[in-house]
Amino acid sequence: MPVSARTLFIDFNNAENEIAVFRASQQGVASEVVVVPSYQRITHKQRLHIVKVNQAIESYTLKLQDCAVAEKFEKKRDKKCDSYYDKVYSLEQEREKTTAYYSAEDLKKELLALLEDKKAVPFDMVVISGHHEQGFYRGELTDAKVKEFVDMMDESRALFSKVNTVVFLGCETGTKAVFQNTLLNMFPTVPVILASEDNAPTRNEARNLAYIRHVVSIRPKLLAARTVKEVQPLYNSLLAKHWPASLLWRQNIVFFKESTELL
């Protein structure tokens, strides 16, 4: 029996390809996906421009790394090195301007606004796409301190009253410490929480998109499972996608690559 999929996709990372996979029809059910930041706040055109800006930032960052290596070994310094810092700063300002300086507070306002939209609630699945590092969730569109994010999710709790699946698509979002200290508080009743035990693939990598498709395809079986013995092969099939998945099942059993543990 198909499992409904009204999905809230929280997009720190400008992850158009990931969003498209969740929107695709799976097992006869097309997933309705609500994206935050919304496309009213940051349009498709703006998001495409941000991708180009970010590519330029990455290019200049690589050049700066070459400059640093040259300095370390006292090689002749490229006269352009100093200008690269200015270029990166200018591009970062351009990216911020393109998002209209979208902040964690703006994200919070959009989540709270969804509570007023009778067509929006409740959701069946929540997806969070973004980098997870140094106490932040971050990406090309915005960032939030972990505590800020936890607090805003708590304030918009009614959005998640019927959520049965949460998927984190960021590095080290599914370590034992994160499950214990953060995710159990954020989603205290959700039976299936998938995250990353280690460094996750980047958003547009083929193995990342294949992993997402597989998550969607086995989700009904994960939700229907009644025993660890039923869940284990499903979890193993996620690892076969070369994605460092970890799985918190029924709030107290966590599957890691090397072990299955009680929390």
Same domain, 131 and 78: no
CATH number, domain at 203?
Answer: 3.40.50
Same domain, 110 and 131: yes
The predicted-structure confidence for 122-178, as pLDDT tens digits, reads as follows 899 999 999 998 889 999 999 999 999 999 999 998 889 899 999 999 999 999 999
Same domain, 57 and 147: no
How deeply is 206 buried, as exposed, middle or buried, from its count of CB atoms within 10 A (0-12, 13-18, 19+)?
exposed
Domain of 242?
6-42+101-262
Q: Tell me, what's the pLDDT at 25?
A: 66
Same domain, 71 and 201: no
- In this predicted structure, the answer to whether residue 100 has a pLDDT above a threshold of 70 is yes
Same domain, 174 and 60: no
As a whole number, the mean pLDDT across the chain is 90
Which range among 70-84, 146-160, 215-229 shows the weakest confidence by mean pLDDT?
70-84
> CA 152: distance to chain centroid?
16
How confident is the model over 199-212, as a mean pLDDT?
A: 95
Same domain, 148 and 240: yes
Task: Give the pLDDT band (50/70/90) at residue 32.
Answer: confident
Q: Tell me, what's the pLDDT at 74?
A: 65
| Tokens 């960032």 sit on residue | 143
Same domain, 132 and 248: yes
Q: Tell me, what's the pLDDT at 27?
A: 57
Same domain, 123 and 66: no
Q: Tell me, what's the pLDDT at 121?
A: 65
